Structure 1
Amino acid sequence: MPLLAVTYVKGRPGATTTALGLAAVAPEWARPVVVECDPAGGDLMRRHRLAAAPSVVDLAAAARGAASSGDVFAAASQPVTVREEAAVPVVVAPAGGAQTRAALPELTGSGRTMLTTSDRVVLVDCGRLEPGSPVWPLLRLADVVLVLARANADEVAHLREYLGDLVDAGRARLAVLLGAGGVYSTADVADVLATHIGQELAFDPQAVSVLGPLPHDRQAAGVLGGELVAGRRWRRLPLMVAYARLWTDLASYLPAVAPQPTDVATETTP
């Protein structure tokens, strides 16, 4: 079922904030869960003062036991409460990256389907993408890989260097999400990437979508980072509005989530 991987190449941290922000404003059908798989270690535990367990280590242990993914996410996640009406289940990772790096093969190895058989959208925070990173097998499992970048010369240049591997990684739809502070327009970046993919890599130029840019919004970033308390109108903050609109673009790339069974009253005939 739907797996959305969030990563960045260089100079644009924010994968954790974006994964959590998307989950916080996800449509009802998504039933999202955020899983921290950053090989450098997780941030949500300290940002939102969560417990050290359960964590991605427990999720990996469940994968070894081939447990039901629905039960596992319920048991391995903790709630991050933006407000009372918006609690996001998250599977945290320890701050040190060693345990996460050890857990990743259990989640992405041959025959492992823990992250792709859920009846909900799984948003995976992959952190920074580097050559030889243990998250590459995870990206190959994803339905959508969302790469964060600013629209400036150095970050676009670094992104171009990874495009061949990203497009060739597997079935994933690749989407570049531009952050605040860039100097080029979305159309300019899309044209540069499409030209590089089509002419230099000989791939379909339509294989990559360029979305955004996201607005500069310190208040929403503070809420998602656990530094500020969300007000009643937190969904109207510019960054949260932008995340909500992103679902319109992303939903077309994600497989449908299986509907949950409901109790149907049995009618009796007198």
Structure 2
Amino acid sequence: MPLLAMCSVKGAPGVTTAALGLAAVADTWARVVLVECDPAGGDLMLRHGLAAKPSLVDLASAARGTGGDPAVYEAVTQELALGDRVAPVVVAPPGGAQSRAALPELTRAGQLVLSPPGRLVVADCGRFEVSSPARPVLALADVVAVQVRATADGLAHVREHLAELLDVVTGRLVVLLGHGGLYGEADVAEVLGRHLAEELMAPDADVTVLGPLPEDRQAAALLSGGLVAGRRWQRLPLLRALQGVAGELAPLLVTAPHDEAAGARAETAG
């Protein structure tokens, strides 16, 4: 199944929170698993009181020699409970050194463990940098969602990195607007479209803008482990907005068996 990679370009606009929210509200048939691929280390273990093992390191170890066998996830996922839903997650150690060592094994040539048959993988890749060890994950992804606040400085950082992102991303590039911005979806799409056409000379580049996500402290606290989910947790504004985002992304994340194109992406990432 497809791979959705999520990242930011600067600051902390809530990528891990949004990634967990998307994994939690996704249709059950997609069998979503959230994998922390942040080279700086993971947050879910400490936020939600999960065990230190199994982790991303164990996924990398189990992946050796198995190609895209989805059975590896049965041994390395942990269950993160949110109300009446359980989100399977692969946590990363808080320190980044182990994560940085594990990532190359997950993205080496021919390795399809991040887009296995029968599962939709959501990869939290942290902050995008040209030299990031998570760069090959972005290259493998069918969709890369870059989360940013629609402020003057936030959009400036997106424009600064847009050419680099387009060089890396082989799937669809999505700009996901977080809360606290000053501009709406149409305004941001116009700014980025003008930048693509006039500065990057790439008027045909396909960049989708979604959002903005609402400011919702209750949902953010729930997804950060600071609040227990009630019976109507999925009706909170942020979760409802993420359900809408999931619907917008669904056509780009079509369920399909692995084929030569998937193998080609793996070769590119390697």
Instruction: Give the alignment's TM-score, normalised by structure 2.
Output: 0.92
Q: What is the deviation of 1:118?
A: 3.2
Q: What is the deviation of 1:183?
A: 1.0
Structure of larger gyration radius: 1
Q: What is the deviation of 1:199?
A: 2.3
**What are structure 2's unaligned runs of at least 5 residues?**
258-270
Partner residue, 2:43: 43
Q: Deviations over 1:117-158 (max 9, x none)?
A: 231110000011122111111100000000000011111111
Q: What is the deviation of 1:107?
A: 0.4
**What are structure 1's unaligned runs of at least 5 residues?**
259-270
Partner residue, 2:123: 124
- Contact 1:144-1:172 at 8 Å conserved across structures: yes
- Contact 2:54-2:91 at 8 Å conserved across structures: yes
Distance 1:159 1:107 in 2: 27
Partner residue, 1:267: none
Change in Cα spacing, 1:160 to 1:110, as seen in structure 2 (3 Å) is: same
- Structure 2 counterpart SS, 1:70: coil
- Contact 2:130-2:164 at 8 Å conserved across structures: no
- Structure 2 counterpart SS, 1:41: coil
Query: Which amino acid in the other structure matches residue 58 of structure 1?
Result: D
Distance 1:170 1:145 in 2: 7
Query: Which amino acid in the other structure matches residue 32 of structure 1?
Result: V
Stretches (4+) displaced over 6 A = none
Instruction: Give the alignment's TM-score, normalised by structure 1.
Output: 0.92
Partner residue, 2:26: 26
- Contact 1:30-1:257 at 8 Å conserved across structures: no
Matches within 5 A, 1:1-270: 1-66=1-66, 69-83=69-83, 85-205=84-204, 207-257=206-256
- Structure 2 counterpart SS, 1:201: coil
Query: Which amino acid in the other structure matches residue 198 of structure 2?
Result: Q
Give me the identity figure in percent.
58
Q: Deviations over 1:221-243 (max 9, x none)?
A: 11111100111110110000001
- Structure 1 counterpart SS, 2:168: coil
- Structure 1 counterpart SS, 2:61: helix
Q: How many residues align?
A: 257
